[in-house]
Structure 1
Amino acid sequence: MNAIDKSLASDINLGLLLETLAGARDLPLIFRYDGRPVRPGYHVTEVKAGQFSALDCGANPETWAEIFVQLWDIEEGDRMHMPAGKFAAIIRKVSEHVQLDGAARLTFEVSDGVQPMQLYCASAPAIRNGAVHVDLIPRAASCKPRDRWLVEQAQAAACCGPANAVTCCG
């Protein structure tokens, strides 16, 4: 079974992305997914916000807010990658009509118009080589009770290691 390495993704929120873009308005914004950058002609075709309520596989109620940004990865003429400021302006325009929670989970939906749309979470934006780069990592299904248990186990191991045994395991 191939598992996606979740340590690569940071599940950033819209607020963090916009905060980074504010200081780099004129730089190209390049999303990278499936081992390659989006093409320079990409479009932001839709931004939507949702409030979700669910019951996970352990019968635990879950609620969260999520913002979806849909990217259409196409080549279009001699266009360059979208400037970070233009992306921020698109989000600002959407926020005039749709309530966007800056702390909401951010999900990208990406398609080239031929392949089915895929869901991605985003790494923290990084400015390098004169551009803002955002790596998109496939969003995998998971078992939330198991994920919580793994986090608890990791915290217990970190807390109860030999160096911390006296302070937190006693």
Structure 2
Amino acid sequence: MEMMNWKDFKNELLANPQLTLQFKYADDKWVDASYHITEIKRTLVNSVDCGGVLNAWTEVVVQLWEPEGQQEERAMEVSKALSIIQLVEKSLPLNPDAVVKVEFGNSTYDTRQLLPKGFIVDGDNLTVDLRPDSVTCKAIERGGSCGTTSTGEECCAPPVQVKPKIQLVNLASSATACTPGSGCC
């Protein structure tokens, strides 16, 4: 699944400030209308993958909290979410190319970070369609393979250092060879 960046996410909100902002986190499962955007995080990720390659990227994580008991009958308007974003960006610059994730959980759904798959405009509602992220092997993403041999070492071990080959010459058969005691060495 293509990951959405912060610029595209924010631009979709800016294009629809008058709509009500909803979040769908699974088929027929919606974040309750009483949700709050509790914080927006900028996460710098640095990792080394199974092939020994250093990776780095930035994520913007929008955290949603669903309080106990319904407090609102209607979710916040997009304009309210934009005012929260504006407040955050005054103190915390957010990379427009950062990957966007939405962090959510409640009493029946374990907290996790979800990816916005897209936006759905339906009447007065702008719905963010969230889907779980999946795990992959970066060696495969680089065009390599992972686990396809019996050992799987092509991505799960440091790169093998290739030693240069040295040509061996039999010096004993050469006419100019030194012999013990001849003083040539």
Common fold, TM-score beyond 0.5? yes
Matched AA of 1:14? W
Q: 2:110 aligns with which of 103, 111, 116?
A: 116
Matched AA of 1:29? L
Q: Which runs of 5+ in 1 are unaligned?
A: 1-5, 151-170
Matched AA of 2:31? V
Deviates more, 1:24-33 or 1:66-75: 66-75
Q: 2:59 aligns with which of 66, 69, 73?
A: 66
- The superposition leaves residues 75-95 of structure 1 with CA deviations (integer Å, 9 ceiling, x where unpaired) of 532331111111111111111
Maintained 8 Å contact 1:69/1:107: yes
- For normalisation by structure 2, the TM-score amounts to 0.70
Matched AA of 1:124? G
- The alpha-carbon deviation at position 131 of structure 1 amounts to 1.1
- For normalisation by structure 1, the TM-score amounts to 0.76
Which whole-Å CA distance do the structure 2 matches of 1:86 and 1:33 have between them?
A: 20
Q: 1:37 to 1:116 in 2, by over 3 A?
A: closer
Matched AA of 1:39? D
Query: Which aligned pairs between 1:1-170 and structure 2 lie closer than 5 A?
Result: 6=1, 10-35=2-27, 36-74=29-67, 75-112=69-106, 115-149=109-143
Secondary structure of 1:79's match?
A: coil
Maintained 8 Å contact 1:40/1:81: yes
- The alpha-carbon deviation at position 116 of structure 1 amounts to 3.5
- The alpha-carbon deviation at position 113 of structure 1 amounts to 5.6
Of all paired residues, the percent bearing the same amino acid is 25
Count of aligned pairs:
142
1:155 paired residue number = none
CA RMSD across the alignment: 1.8
Maintained 8 Å contact 1:72/1:113: no
Q: Which has the larger radius of gyration?
A: 2
- The alpha-carbon deviation at position 136 of structure 1 amounts to 0.7
Which whole-Å CA distance do the structure 2 matches of 1:99 and 1:46 have between them?
A: 14
Aligned structure 1 segments of 4 or more residues deviating by more than 3 angstroms: 113-116
Higher relative contact order (CA 8 A, sep 6+): 1
Q: Which runs of 5+ in 2 are unaligned?
A: 145-185
Structure number with higher helix proportion: 1
